[in-house]
Chain A
Amino acid sequence: EIVLTQSPDTLSLSPGERATLSCRASQTVSSSYLAWYQLKPGQAPRLLIYAASSRATGIPDRFSGSASGTDFTLTINRLEPEDFAVYYCQQYGGSPRTFGQGTKVEIK
């Protein structure tokens, strides 16, 4: 089983700042099948990034993803008020399709 470890657990930032979220995999993720989701209370999960660095349709370009080996990064440039939420990475290259434990981006 691939274990995904996200850091930090909580990120306290102000609107307009840049958020950098990390997701480290315990082993190689097949074909970079790594996704990032945003989750807000009472709402559906929102897919932001798939295949490590491809933005899903309709996602603003302030969201970007990158990969280096088993390290994956989600960057949110110029945080908007609606970006404060919990973010999860997920690998979907094999079974089980594990999630990281989540990073909460909160308003400072």
Chain B
Amino acid sequence: EVQLVESGGGLVKPGGSLRLSCAASGFIFSSYSLNWVRQAPGKGLEWVSSISRSGSQIYYADSVKGRFTISRDDAKSSLFLQMNSLRVDDTAVYYCGSTPGNRAYWGQGTLVTVSS
């Protein structure tokens, strides 16, 4: 069974840090470029970051550039998002998923709440 399972979300104070993980199983993880996308409460989807299959090409939304770092560990079939200097407007459900293609995989998300 194909699965992407996010973890690491929770409640953090403004200025704090969190590291999200996304564990994959059931498909060839290293063959896919991957993404983090988020949905703030009552809002639409917002793209956050992408990483290529090799890890050599990385992109960020302006809203997180300089604060978030995406990485991958193909040996562990895992994707990560290190989030520093968190702000209240980073509060959202964070989803990991593969770049659109014939087969695409997405997790059910992990909630990050930034509040004092």
Interface 0/1 of A77-103, CB less than 8 Å to B: 000000000101010100111111110
Task: Indicate if A11 sits at the interface (CB-CB under 8 A).
Answer: no
Given A44-B107, A50-B102, check contact A97 B50 (CB 8 Å): yes
Say yes or no: is B11 at the interface (Cβ < 8 Å to chain A): no
A18 interface contact, C-beta 8 A: no
Q: Bin chain B's interface residue count.
A: 20 to 34
| A interface, over-half SS | loop
Among B46, B97, B106, B107, the one with the most A-chain Cβ atoms within 10 Å of its Cβ is B106
Contacts of B30 in A (CB 8 A): none
Q: Is the CB of B82 closer than 8 A to any CB of chain A?
A: no
Minimum CB–CB distance from B38 to chain A (whole Å) comes to 10
Instruction: Among B45, B47, B106, point to the contact of A96 (Cβ < 8 A).
Output: B47
Report which residue of A33, A44, A101 has the largest number of chain B beta carbons within 10 angstroms of its beta carbon. A44
Which residues 39-71 in A have Cβ within 8 Å of B in the complex? 39, 42-47, 50-51, 54, 56-57
- Closest beta carbon of chain A to B1's beta carbon, Å: 13
Q: A50-B101, A97-B59 are in contact. Are A44 and B95 (CB under 8 A)?
A: yes
B47 and A90 contacting across the interface, CB-CB below 8 Å:
yes
The residue among A51, A90, A95, A98 with the most chain B CB atoms within 10 A of its own CB is: A95
Interface residue? A35 (CB, 8 A): yes
Q: Are B95 and A45 in contact (CB under 8 A)?
A: yes
Q: Which of A35, A44, A86 contacts B100 (CB 8 A)?
A: A35
Most A-side CB within 10 Å, residue of B35, B45, B47: B45
Q: Please list the residues of chain B having a beta carbon within 8 angstroms of any beta carbon in chain A.
A: 4, 35, 37, 39, 44-47, 50, 59-62, 95, 97, 99-104, 106-109
**5 A-B residue contacts at CB 8 Å?**
A39-B39, A42-B108, A56-B100, A90-B100, A99-B47
9 nearest A-B residue pairs (beta carbon): A50-B100, A47-B104, A95-B59, A35-B100, A44-B106, A97-B47, A102-B44, A99-B45, A45-B106
